[in-house]
Amino acid sequence: MQSQSVRGWLMLEARESVRNLAIYHPPLAGREGLRLDFNENTVGCSPRVLKRLREITAEEIACYPEREPIEAVVADYFDIQPDELLLTNGVDEAIHLLCEIFLQPGDEALIVVPTFAMYEISAAATGARIIKVPTGEDFRLPISALLSQVTPRTRLIAIANPNNPTGRVAEPADLLEITRRTPQAAILVDEAYFEFYRQTLLGQWRDFPNLFVARTFSKAYGLAGLRVGALTGNSEHIRMVNRVSSPYNVNGVALACLPAALADQDYIRRYVEQVREGRELLQQEFAAWSIQYWASQANFVLAKLGLQTTGFVESMRARGILVRDRSRDYGCEGCVRITLGTTEQTTRLLQALRETLAEITTKEVSAK
Ligand SMILES: Cc1ncc(COP(=O)(O)O)c(C=O)c1O
């Protein structure tokens, strides 16, 4: 029950939906080592971005940021119209805005689990009911189960493609079928890992107006620290999102750097190539150790070690490599997620992985 002040008035309290939120606490400090735990670019952004960063003037910093000219550059790069795009403070903000605009208490948001935590947090904070649709053991998108949960109150369906933490992808035709059969809901297809997969639904909102596609510059582009992403969709809907968004949601430094990042596609191509090769090698390594993994289309692989994940994560950390324990995600007990980086980093990763697995296996055998 809400407490009362001396005058008998109610005291300030967060909304009930916020008080009831499950707490999401990714580590925010102590990440020394080779960072293969957050799906970031492991070597950083293009040198062209750094050059632009060094040229930034005091006057540029003093001015409120101008988003529109940069939105035109990004829209051109995506081959869509500028009014079909809103730059956001990372995809995190895009998710938040969509929830703010389309959800109200009593509405339903469908989320296929396991997936990226922010869908549930942003949706639940609005007071909407979260309907979790579990994937099977193969972590494929459960289309029929998802559609069977749709009701007239369904207002949001969020799907990461490729999904995090599994790396699994959904067929474009399936995503469009969901969109077609749920016209009352915003369908968010989160393409944060697009560059490692190369299939997109950008522009499909012209046939399916309730479709939104999100992209980030935090992953392949190495700009996670600048916080910039994009929400794209039907121009009427994007106009509504714009009503709620702060006009200065993306900072001026990020906006200044974004064209330089986009212009250096060679840098992205070279990096992505190495990640894709590394992904193959890591999957082969898991297969060689008879460790279950899920074929990934992103810059990470999820594997079920079948042993104490905390011990594994600690042993890898002792060898200077950070990986992420995903045991607490739905269906991921005993799983770790490992991000891929450059060829040289993959060599280092595989060496540490072999040593760690050998060490753990020896301990297990001697404990028997
Ligand atoms: C599927 C997915 N969407 C969005 C994000 C966050 O992106 P941003 O840094 O643009 O907020 C992540 C980060 O891990 C993610 O995995």
Q: Which of 215, 185, 174 is closest to 198 using CA atoms?
A: 215
pTM for this one? 0.95
> How far is it, in rounded angstroms, from Cα 61 to Cα 252?
7
Partners of 11 in the beta sheet? Answer: none
Query: What is residue 204's DSSP assignment?
Result: G
| CA 352 to ligand 1 center in whole angstroms | 27
For residue 186, the SS3 value is: strand
- Atom nearest to 92 CA in ligand 1: 11
What ranges make up the beta strands (E) of the chain?
Answer: 34-35, 85-88, 108-113, 129-134, 154-160, 186-190, 211-216, 229-233, 292-293, 300-304, 321-322, 324-325, 335-339
Per-residue pLDDT tens listing for the chain (368 residues) = 567 777 788 899 999 999 999 877 776 667 788 999 999 999 999 999 999 999 999 999 999 999 999 999 999 999 999 999 999 999 999 999 999 999 999 999 999 999 999 999 999 999 999 999 999 889 999 999 999 999 999 999 999 999 999 999 999 999 999 999 999 999 999 999 999 999 999 999 999 999 999 999 999 999 999 999 999 999 999 999 999 999 999 999 999 999 999 999 999 999 999 999 999 999 999 999 999 999 999 999 999 997 778 899 999 999 999 999 999 999 999 999 999 999 999 999 999 999 999 988 777 656 55
| CA 225 to ligand 1 center in whole angstroms | 12
| CA 35 to ligand 1 center in whole angstroms | 16
Instruction: Indicate if ligand 1 lies below 6 Å from the C-beta of 90.
Output: yes
Do you know the residue count of the chain? 368
Instruction: Indicate if ligand 1 lies below 6 Å from the C-beta of 346.
Output: no
Q: Which of 308, 322, 323 is closest to 359 using CA atoms?
A: 308
